Amino acid sequence: MKRINNIFYSLQGEGRNTGRAAVFIRFAGCNLRCSFCDTEFETYREMSSEEIMAEVEALLPHTSCLKPLVVLTGGEPTLQVDETFVDFLHEHGYEVAMESNGTRPAPKNLDWLTVSPKQKPVHQRCSEVKVVFTDADHVSDFGLEADYYYLQPCDTGDAQRNKVITQTCVEYIKQHPQWRLSLQTHKLIDIE
* Residue 126 annotated to the active site: no
pLDDT category of residue 129 using cuts at 50, 70 and 90: very high
| pLDDT for residue 134 is more than 80 | yes
* pLDDT at 33 (0 to 100): 74
pLDDT category of residue 186 using cuts at 50, 70 and 90: confident
Rounded CA-CA distance 131/125 in Å is 15
pLDDT category of residue 32 using cuts at 50, 70 and 90: confident
* Residue 38 annotated to the active site: yes
Element (H, E) at 175: helix 159-175
| pLDDT for residue 46 is more than 80 | yes
* pLDDT at 169 (0 to 100): 97
| pLDDT for residue 64 is more than 80 | no
pLDDT category of residue 106 using cuts at 50, 70 and 90: very high
Average pLDDT over residues 97-109: 96
Average pLDDT over residues 97-123: 93
**Catalytic one of 8, 18, 39, 88:** 39
Give backbone dihedrals phi and psi of 183, rounded to 5 degrees, phi first: -95, 155
Instruction: For the full predicted model, state whether its pTM sits above 0.75.
Output: yes
* Residue 123 annotated to the active site: no
**Catalytic one of 99, 103, 126, 133:** 99
pLDDT category of residue 82 using cuts at 50, 70 and 90: very high
| pLDDT for residue 42 is more than 90 | no
Four-CA torsion 94, 122, 185, 26, nearest 10 degrees: 50
**Catalytic one of 30, 126, 154, 169:** 30
Domain limits, the chain: 2-188
**Catalytic one of 37, 155, 156, 185:** 37
| pLDDT for residue 40 is more than 80 | no
pLDDT category of residue 36 using cuts at 50, 70 and 90: low
Residue 34: which region, alpha, beta or left (left: phi > 0; alpha: psi -120 to 50)? beta
Q: Class of the 2-188 domain? A: alpha beta
* Residue 103 annotated to the active site: no
* Residue 37 annotated to the active site: yes
